[in-house]
A and B are shown apart, each in its own frame.
Chain A
Amino acid sequence: MRKNLNVIAAYSIMMGLIILVGIFQSWNIALSIFNLCLISAVMTMGANIQWGYAGLINFGIMGYTALGGLAAVLISVNPVQEAWSAGGLNILFSLLLIVGMVLAVRYVLKKYEKSKKRTYIIATIIILGIIIIRFVSEPGIEAIEEVDPAKTGFLGGFGLPIIFSWIVGALFAGGLAFVIGKVALGLRADYLAIATLLISEIVIAIIKHEDWLTRGVKNVIGLKRPAPYEVNLQQTDWFINLVEKFNSGKLSLISDFTERQATLNQFVIEGSSIFVKLCYTGLFLVVVIILLILTQKALYSPWGRMMRAIRDNEEAANAMGKNVVKQHLLIFVLGSAIVGIAGAMLVTQDGLFTPGSYRPMRYTFLIWVMVIVGGSGNNFGAILGGFVVWFLWIESAPIGLYLVNLTTSGLDDTHFLKVHLIESVPYFRFLMMGIGLLLIMRYRPKGILPERIEIK
């Protein structure tokens, strides 16, 4: 118990802060912060597995998040029949060509010894393949994108409940990580960081510009929800009764009937959006708890010990007969898959998929700040990092505004410096993140909750 005291203290402070936001701002804001904190926590767990357990740098988190989001679209949107009949066969044929290309490359790789000739053959196959695929797929893609471009213009998905996409998102991200891992994991640490960062940019470029698959920058809106809709809730009897019971104290103070009804309506509208958010909170909490149990079990299993051995001394682990390459690949895939889940969860909560919003600052570097600040190698630390950093990221604007008002209180309201500073309040979050990261790296390099290995 004593040993866990700082964990409990840190989490209580965090929850206290969120409750304070609920009291002073609104419960709606508090809950949306809390939900995004949970999603961030899933992302940091993924990054923490790679960095904390195995010491692999993955700056491609943005790419896996986007793939998870793409999975949410492909699973939940209803298929667009016209688009399928217009260009579906063509796309399927192109996919077949891609598979054929990959198989051909694999065959060449297996059949021939490593030589210059083999390299040239592979290059020829890939270049020819790309040219052929471009020619074959172009009419199909154009046909698909012409089907009602204002509303669809893409193939759509499978029309399944969106919850399934959380698993599919993990599979997508894991699949991509497998390919990247096969290619890039042999690189030195900082090269790996740069390579993954650039590959994630390529993934985003593809998602942004292949309109037939993702609608690109036209965005996909109105995705199905796993939770009820506010509008429906506001007309359901049991919900109105629930809200009435909940607020009976306040309502009984109002004697006038119409006024009372109006206030009740107000409460119902407010309550419905809180209720929906609570539904999401429940779903996300389940995911976080399952992942936490699994990752904790893994950390203290023989496999976790092996990963730490590989992290701390690769050569020694190798000499003990551990297959370092294979384990690195495994952990790269696992971590990325978890990030993929988070990506799908994020799109599920927002109900829309906006490829243009995936930017490395928000989806790669911020997640890294979370891992480092929270404590790499410690799952509770990583989750806490997700909470703390996301909370500050959202609340830094009000805090910044308060500080600006405080420091410039002597100045006139129209003074150019004050106006300028108030306008730039949104950028104080970058400043806070940067200074926070630098301070933590300097004075507490292992994070708020450092890695602590107990031998049981």
Chain B
Amino acid sequence: MDLLNAIILLLNYIFVPALTYGSQLALGAIFVTLIYGILRFANFATGDMMSFGTMFTILFTWYFQSIGISLGVLPTALLAIPFAVILMIGYMLLIDKFVFKYYRINKSPPVQLAMVSIGVMFVTQAVVRIIIGPSDRRFFDGEKFLIRAGEFKDMTGLNEGLAIKSTQVITIFVTVILVSTLFWFLNKTKTGKSMRAYSDNEDLALLSGIDPKKIVMVTWIIAGILATIGGALYGLDKSFKPFTYFNNMLPIFAAAIVGGIGNPFGAFLGGYVIAFSEILLTYAYKKFFMYVLPESMEPDSLVQLLSTDYKFAVSFSILVIVLLYRPSGIFKGKVL
């Protein structure tokens, strides 16, 4: 019984939150990795592009709420996402046309493109703040919990409750669908294959008649989809605040590099690696040991390896270690 309690405890406080957070990071990390693999630069505007997409989602959600459309138990935002995605893709293509294209055609070094992306970051951030403001916004509606902690306790008779928020389920569900579609697209369709070829060896790909314009456009379209959905899921689960999104860029980068930048599957797993290590290392295991160990051996302290203040520092330390020992990432090989 105690063991069961301990497992539920870990599920509730570590596994489910980490899986959700990991999915949100994974979407962002695939976004970073795609841009890096095909357009060949580190996109510092990642976080702000995600907040831009989320902003559209929120605006549409408000609009739908105001005219009385809702999805019942599901959040209205799910209905708003497709519209937001369309606008976001437009924004991405616009930015590419007016900003990035010039440097791509001139074959500028990646560093210069990264600098340009900082300019895009400033502009995007400003636009988001001017349109929707810098404050914290919640746009979740519908049924909040799938299983409440109390209900779970009554159902099973255990001491520990397991609460599953509907946003957590939605996040994981949407991520699985989106990522599997993406991998199917990259591995099975002609466009996907040509994207991989382009990422692997640009000159060879051009020689075999692949149209670079199409590749770049498709990349930005996928990036727009990933950025909007990843951002909206994060905002649904926690809340939307432009500054948090900017900060999320850092663990997202960490996830992409840990998984081997340029490798979408690696980035996908990298998101979970970062999320789980952040939560595992900063969780206080006292209660867990109270269930597992006999009474005489119960710990006095919190049994916490690092205080939660260092949550970000954990992922960055992992990144630094990976960069030092395996610069190409845990999941080796640059194959898009």
Task: List the interface of chain A (C-beta within 8 A of B).
Answer: 57, 119, 131, 183-184, 187-191, 193-195, 197-199, 201-202, 205-206, 208-209, 361, 365, 368-369, 372, 421, 423-424, 427-431, 433-435, 437-438, 441-442, 445
Q: Which residues of A contact B324 (CB under 8 A)?
A: 183-184
Cα-based distance from A57 to B118 in the complex (angstroms) = 13
Having A193-B111, A424-B130, A433-B122, one finds 11 other A-B pairs with CB under 8 Å, namely: A119-B325, A190-B42, A190-B110, A191-B327, A198-B250, A365-B118, A421-B130, A423-B133, A428-B126, A430-B129, A434-B126
A435/B123 in contact, CB under 8 A: yes
A434 touches B320 (CB 8 A): no
**Interface of chain A, main secondary structure:** helix
| Complex Cα gap A421–B130 (Å) | 7
CA gap between A297 and B122 in the complex, in Å: 35
Contact assessment for A368 and B115 in the assembled complex, using a CB-CB cutoff below 8 Å: yes
Nearest-neighbour CB distance to chain A for B99, whole angstroms, equals 6
Cβ–Cβ contact B254 & A427, under 8 A:
no
Are A199 and B320 closer than 8 Å at their CB atoms? yes
CA distance A437 to B115 in the complex (A): 9
Tell me the smallest distance from the CB of B242 to a CB of chain A, in Å: 9
Contacts of B305 in A (CB 8 A): 131
Q: Mark B54-94, 1 if CB is under 8 A from A, else 0.
A: 00000000000000000000000000000000000000000
B25 at the interface (CB under 8 A from A): no
Is A430 in contact with B125, judged by CB distance below 8 angstroms? yes
| A209 pairs with B307, CB closer than 8 A | yes
B122–A431 touching, CB < 8 Å: yes
B8 within 8 A of A: no
When the two chains form their complex, are residues A193 and B130 in contact, meaning their CB atoms are under 8 A apart?
no
Nearest CB of chain B from residue A114's CB, rounded to whole Å: 11
In contact, B126 and A194 (Cβ under 8 angstroms): no
Q: Which of B287-309 contact A (CB under 8 A)?
A: 305, 307, 309
Question: A198, B320: Cβ atoms under 8 Å?
Answer: yes
Which residues of B are interface residues toward A (Cβ below 8 A)? 41-42, 99, 102, 109-112, 114-116, 118-127, 129-130, 133-134, 246, 250, 253-254, 257, 305, 307, 309-310, 312-313, 316-317, 319-320, 323-325, 327
The answer on a CB contact under 8 Å between A431 and B115 is: no
Instruction: Please pick, from B127, B309, B317, the residue contacting A208 in the complex, using a CB distance under 8 A.
Output: B309
Q: Is the CB of A424 within 8 A of B127?
A: no
Q: Are the C-beta atoms of A199 and B316 separated by less than 8 Å?
A: yes
| Residue contact A189 to B110, C-beta cutoff 8 Å | yes
B39 → chain A closest CB, angstroms: 12
Q: Are A438 and B42 in contact (CB under 8 A)?
A: no
Bound-state CA distance A429–B126 (Å) is 8
B99 touches A438 (CB 8 A): yes
Q: Is the CB of A205 within 8 A of B319?
A: no
Bound: A372/B127 CA distance, A: 22
Asked if residues B126 and A431 are in contact (CB atoms below 8 Å), the reply is yes
Which of A191, A428, A441: most chain B CB closer than 10 A? A441
Q: What's the Cα separation between A193 and B113 when bound, in Å?
A: 13
**What residues of chain B lie closer than 8 Å to A202, measured between beta carbons?**
312-313, 316-317
Cα-based distance from A261 to B114 in the complex (angstroms): 60
Residue from B118, B309, B316 whose CB has the most chain A CB atoms within 10 Å: B118
Contact indicator B123/A438 (Cβ below 8 Å): yes
Among A189, A190, A201, A434, point to the contact of B312 (Cβ < 8 A): A201
| Cα-based distance from A21 to B143 in the complex (angstroms) | 56
Contact B119 A437 (CB under 8 A): yes
Which residues from B are CB-within-8-Å of A195? 319-320, 323
Compute how far the CA of A445 lies from the CA of B119 in the bound complex, rounded to whole angstroms.
13
Give chain B nearest CB distance to A37 CB in angstroms: 20
A429 to B319, CA, bound (A): 32
Separation of A275 and B309 alpha carbons in the complex (Å): 42
Asked whether A434 lies within 8 Å of B121 as measured between CB atoms, the reply is yes
Most buried by B among A191, A198, A206, A442: A198
* Chain B, residue nearest A194 (CB): B253
CA distance in complex: A57, B113 (Å): 13
- Report A-chain residues with C-beta under 8 Å of the C-beta of B119: 434-435, 437-438, 441
Contact B134 A198 (CB under 8 A): no
Which residues of chain A are near B310, meaning CB under 8 Å?
Answer: 205, 209
Q: Which residues of A lie under 8 Å from residue B42 when comparing CB positions?
A: 190, 193-194
Question: Distance in Å from the Cβ of A199 to the closest Cβ of chain B?
Answer: 7
Chain B residues with Cβ below 8 Å from A191 are 257, 323, 327
B254 near A198 (CB under 8 angstroms)? yes
| Chain B residues with CB below 8 A from A194, complex form | 42, 253, 257, 319
Q: What is the CB-to-nearest-CB distance from B97 to chain A, in angstroms, rounded to a whole number? A: 13
Q: Which residues of B contact A199 (CB under 8 A)?
A: 316, 320
Residue in A189, A201, A421 whose CB lies within 8 Å of B111: A189
